[in-house]
Copies of this chain bind each other. A is one copy, B any other.
Amino acid sequence: MNKEITTEILEEWLENVRPYAYDGQVADYIPALSRQNPEELAVAIHYIDGSSIHAGEIEATFTLQSITKVISLALALMDNGEDYVFDHVGMEPTGDPFHSIYRLEQLPSKPLNPMINAGALSVTHMIHGDTPDEKVGRLLSFVHEMTDDHTIGYNEEVAASEFETAFLNRSLLFYMKQHQIVTGSVEETLDAYTKQCAIEVNVPQLARIGALFANEGRDLDSGRQIIPKHFARICKTFMVTCGMYDASGSFAIKVGMPAKSGVSGSVMASLNGFGGIAVYGPSLDEKGNSVVGLRLLELLSNRYDLSIF
């Protein structure tokens, strides 16, 4: 485990990448996200030995958005087993944008992978729970367990706002309902999904989740197996092949870390034998990834040789 990175280094590098915050755009499709401050930056590293360092505005909270696709996948695998999950969602990366629908028209019509929206919606649909709130409650308990922090909840304003405007996700859900990939109420699945996406954390909490995946699914303090090792591995695999939207391939080459990004401007990376890294910087590039997040992870990877390849 490489532990030469110091708080001072993190602070210095965060300043170095700060100017890039002006190269992108804060997500603006809902008011709550558009109000994010592009200058609010934070980074945290949680080592698998349990220690951690951080820099920037570590009190700042943000919604996890697409990063929850990894967490819900882990829970759906634990709820349903690998065979059931992959009967309903594929394993292959795709060169398409996350919102793409046309692939579903090709047979078999199941979503190509759990990181594009169609796939993530079908994963949320698989999480056990009779109601949206029960599903979300179970997801939150799972997050509480991973972070050892029972205060984490979801941002109701963000959830409500996304729910109201999620026409494309409704389109994807109805398309999958037509093809029996999902069943039951579209509105209920969407309710669970938008609440899931609105789960709110800060970078120290997020880095700890990344570290748990890096620690083969075991709790960092107690060593308890929270996610079976094989399922943690599946999640990290998807983080490599399709974690960064349709920039996953270039991210794998330039940075080489299993990582997942969200349109709130957050990124969670997870490195076996090292730990978890979380970055927050709400300014996004045209693919929907945090500009500052990409820069900082690239610097860290190159300087400390962190690529898994």
Contacts and interface: CB of A to CB of B under 8 A. Distances in A.
Interface of A: 90-96, 100-105, 112-113, 167-168, 170-175, 177-178, 186, 233-234, 236-238, 240-242, 246-250, 252-253, 256, 258, 272, 307-309
Contact of A240 (B104, B168, B178, B240): B240
Contacts of A170: 170-171, 174, 186
A249 B95 CA distance: 13
Q: How many monomers of this chain does the complex have?
A: 4
A186 to B, nearest CB: 8
14 contacts: A91-B253, A93-B242, A95-B95, A168-B174, A170-B171, A170-B186, A171-B172, A171-B174, A174-B174, A236-B309, A237-B249, A272-B308, A308-B308, A308-B309
A309 B258 contact: yes
Given A168-B175, A253-B91, A272 B113 contact: no
A241 B93 contact: yes
Contacts of A309: 233-234, 236-237, 240, 258, 272, 308
A31 B253 CA distance: 38
Given A253-B234, A309-B237, A248 B92 contact: yes
A289 to B, nearest CB: 13
A77 B174 CA distance: 30
A226 to B, nearest CB: 17
B103 A101 contact: no
A96 B94 CA distance: 8
Given A94-B94, A95-B95, 5 more contacts: A90-B249, A91-B249, A93-B94, A102-B105, A272-B308
Nearest to A213: B309
A163 to B, nearest CB: 13
Contacts of A100: 105
A249 B113 contact: yes
A45 to B, nearest CB: 20
Contacts of A104: 101
Contacts of A105: 100-102
Contacts of A175: 101, 167-168, 171
Given A101-B175, A105-B102, A258-B309, A252 B241 contact: yes
Chain B CB count within 10 A is highest, among A175, A249, A256, for A249
The 3 closest A-B pairs by CB, nearest first: A102-B102, A171-B174, A93-B93
Nearest to A234: B253
A119 to B, nearest CB: 11
B240 A253 contact: no
Contact of A237 (B91, B242, B253): B253
A134 to B, nearest CB: 24
A246 B105 CA distance: 16
A91 B241 contact: no
